[in-house]
Amino acid sequence: MLVLESEAIEVVAEAVSIVPIKTRRLQTSIDLYERGSDYVILGAGGMDGEAAPYAGFVEFGTSRMQARPYMQPALAKVRASTPSRFRFAFERLHT
């Protein structure tokens, strides 16, 4: 779980650093919302969507607004280093 949670924390940090900022409302809504024994839930907008209900519109765009992705690029950047991190964590457990 430590590797998964640390990866999620990195995704949140990266998304916070690249999200388009107008009022900081969307930026401050990006967070880890829930941690379980084998999962984490992260996202933007708040768990109920009330913090920044437009989070999805910014990420995916609308018929009137071009998408300005921030979560997907953050996930892709962190995911690129995931295999080596899992390997390192696995090796540490078995040495």
Q: What is the pLDDT of residues 23-74, one digit of tens each?
A: 999 999 999 999 888 888 999 998 888 899 999 999 999 999 999 999 999 9
pLDDT of residue 23: 92
pTM over 0.85, yes/no: no
Tell me 51's DSSP state: S
pLDDT of residue 89: 53
Torsions phi, psi for 46 (to 5 deg): 100, 155
Give the chain's largest Cα–Cα span.
55
- In whole angstroms, how far apart are CA 94 and each of 88, 90, 91? 10, 6, 5
SS3 62: coil
Angle between helices 71-79 and 2-18 (to 10 degrees): 140
Measured distance CA(53)–CA(42) in Å, rounded: 15
Give the pLDDT band (50/70/90) at residue 5.
Answer: confident
